[in-house]
Structure 1
Amino acid sequence: MLIKGDDPGTALLLAAAPVNKSRLVDAASVLPGLAAVAPAVLTGTAAATVVELADPVDPQTVLTRIRAVAASPGPLFLFVAGQLHIDGKQHQVHLALARTTPASLRYTALPWAWLAHELQVRAPGTTTVLVDLACDPAAWERVAQEGLALGPGVRLYGRVVAPSGRGKAVAPDYLKTYAEVWRGGARPSLAELHAYAADRAGHENARYLALDGPPLGAGPAPVQAPAGPPAQADPHPAILAAAHAGRHGEAASMAAVWESEAMRMYGPGSLEAVHWLEVRADLARLALEPARSCELWMAAAQARLARHQSTDNTDVEAAVDRAHHQWEQLRDAERARSLGPALVTLRRQVAGRRRGALEAVQRRIEQLQAVPAAGR
C-alpha cells in the first residue's frame, strides 16, 4: 500500500457517538487498535502524522481539525467510526457527536457536507476515507439511495449498518479488522483489505462502500458489495518472499485475505478456497508450526473429500500425507495426542501410497499414551 512521494502522510482517527441513549455504535472501541498501528502503515508513506479525536463534543472543533489535515500536502487518510442521522428540518446527513440528541442534532452534530466540502481543496487521488458507520432509519434510506458522496478524486471504502432494534451498540468490526491485519504485519491493497474486512465483519443489515477515485464529474458514490479479486500480479511470489524472509505473520495474513476473498467469490468449499487453505498449511510448515500445518492439511483433505473427490485422488492423498508428515514432526506429546484421532480417521479413508501409514499413526498414538501428560 506504499504511496510514493516525498511528502509525509496524515491520518485522522475520528470516533464519535452520543454518550446518551441515542448511542448506536461503540465507536471509540476502534481507536486503541488503530492507534497501535505504526503511523506510516496507516498512510502508506515513509513518514506520517496521526491526529486522534475520541468522542468530540463540538462540531466546530472537529471542522477545525479536518480543515487543518486537509491542508497537508501529502496523502490523507480519514478513519471515521460513528453514526449518521438526518435532521428533521433541512434533511441533511449528520455525524453524531458526544452531546448529540435527536432534538439538538443540527447544533451538536457534524454535517456530512462539511466534511465533503473541506476535502475538495485536495488534489484528486490524495485522499482516502474509510468509514464504519451505524445509521438511523432515515439515514439508512438516504445512504441506500445516494451513497456517501465525498466528491471527485476521493477514495471511499467502508461499511454502513442499520442496528437491529434497541439493545447493544454495534461494534466497529469492519475498521477493527483493518487494525488487526496491519498489526499482524500484512500489507494488502485497500481493495483486498476491504473485501477481507467486509467478510469478517458480516452483519445482517449492512451495506458496503467501495469507490476507488471516481473521475472528475462523476456522480454520487454507488453503494455496492465488496469488489471482486483485484486485477494485479500473482500474489504467490510476494507471500513466499515474506515467508522466506522470516515475516511469517505477514505471509499468513496475506494468504488469509486471499482465502477469504476466494470463499466470498466462489464459496467456502470451492477449489479456489481450498487452494488458499493449502497455501496457509505450507506457510505454517515454513514457520515451523507443525501442529497448525497438520490441522490445515487435514482441513484441506476433508474439504476435498466433501467435494466428492476420490480417496485415491492425487491432491487428496498429498494433503493427508503432508498432514501425517507434520504430525510426525510434533514434539509436544499432548498436542500430538489431540490431533491423532482425526488423523487416524483420515488415514482410514485415505490409505495413501505409503504402505503401513495407518498402522504407523496408530503405533505412535500408543507410544504417546505412555507419555505422562503435563501436570500429572
Structure 2
Amino acid sequence: MEGSESEPDRTSEVEAAATEVEWHVVSADDVAGVEAPKVVEWEDMEQEIARLWSLSSALRIAKERKEELSQRLASIIEARAESLQRVNELEDMKKRLEARKAVRRDMLDFSDKSSEDVEIRIEQLSLKIRNLLVAGKTLSAAHNQLQEAKNLLTGDNGHGRLKKTKTKLRMRQQYMVAQIASIYPVRTSNEHIPMKILDTYSGGSKSGDVPPAKSISRSSSQSSLTILGWQLMAMPTKKTGYFSDKKEVQKTASVLGFAAHALHLIASYLKVPLRYPLRLGGSRSYIHDYSPSVDSSQPSTDSATTSPNLSVSSSIPTEFPLFFDGQETITRAAYAIFLLNKDLEQVLNYIGAESLGPRHILPNLKELMRIILSDEFLDR
C-alpha cells in the first residue's frame, strides 16, 4: 500500500517538476551520448528522474546565480568605467590646475617685479616732482624778480628815467663839444695858399725806419680846413735853420697842439680813455705810446735777457713830439701825428663813425664834432 501511494506522489512531483522545467527542442547532434544512449531500468527510472530533477534544479539555481553575478559584474564594470573616467577627468583637471598654478606663479613673479619697478618708478617720479617743485618755486621767484625789475624799468625810476638821463647826458656832451667847437673852430678856407698841405704817411715803427713825410701839392684855388684860421702845413724837409719861414713850423706845431687839446677834451667828456695818451703843452705837446719795443743796442741772442727789456719798455711809455724841432725830430713827429690820428679814429669808432683816412687830422676832427653836434648823436 505504501509503495502504491508513494508512486503517484513521485509521479505528481515529476510532472510538477516537468511543468516547472522549460523544455526545448534540440537536434540530436546537440545531445551528448545520443549515439550510445544510456539504458535505465524501470526500477531505477524513478531515481534517475529524481536525480535529473535535482540536477535541473541545481542548473536553474546556477543560472540564476550566474545572472545575478553577471548583473553585479556589469554594475561593477560600469562603476569601474565611471571611476576610470572620473580618474582621467581628475588627471586632466589636475594638469589644468598645475598649468594654472604655473601661470599664477609666473603672474605673481611678474607682479612682484612690476611692483618693484613701480616702486622704483614712484621714487624716481617723487624725486622729479620734488625737483620740479623746487624748480617751480625758483622759477616763480625769478619770475617775480623779473616782474619787479620790469616794473622798475617801466616805472618813473626805470628805463624811462635812464633814457632821459642818457639824453640829458648826450645834450650836456653836445653843449661841451659845442664850446670846444667855438674855442677851436674847424672851418674851410678859400684862401690862396701856395704852400703844401700836410699829408703824412706813417707806416713805419718808432725805431727809426719811418719813411719821410710825403705831401700832396694842392692848387691855390682848392679849399682846405683850418683851426683858428691856421692850416696844418707839411713837415719841413730841411733843417729849421734853412727853412724859408720858421713861423709856418710854429703854426703847424700850434695847430697840432690845438687839435690834441680839442681831442683830449672831447675824449674826456665822452669818457673814452685814449689808446695813446696826450701830454698837453700847447705847441709843445707830446703823445705817448705804450707799445712794447726792444732796445736795438742790446744783444738779442738770449731770450731770457730780452723779455725783461720788453716788460720794462711796455710799462714805460715812449713820448713822441707833436712839433718839429730840427731835422732829427721829423720822423718822430710824423709818427706822433700818425698816433694822434689813431686817437681820432678811436673816438670816431666809439660813436659809431668811420675815419676819413690816416692822413686827415682836421677833417677827422671836424667830422667828430659834426656828428656829436647832430641830432643823431642823441639816439646813439
Q: Give the shorter-chain TM-score range.
A: under 0.3
Q: Which has the higher helix share?
A: 2
The TM-score, its normalising length taken from structure 2, stands at 0.20
The TM-score, its normalising length taken from structure 1, stands at 0.21
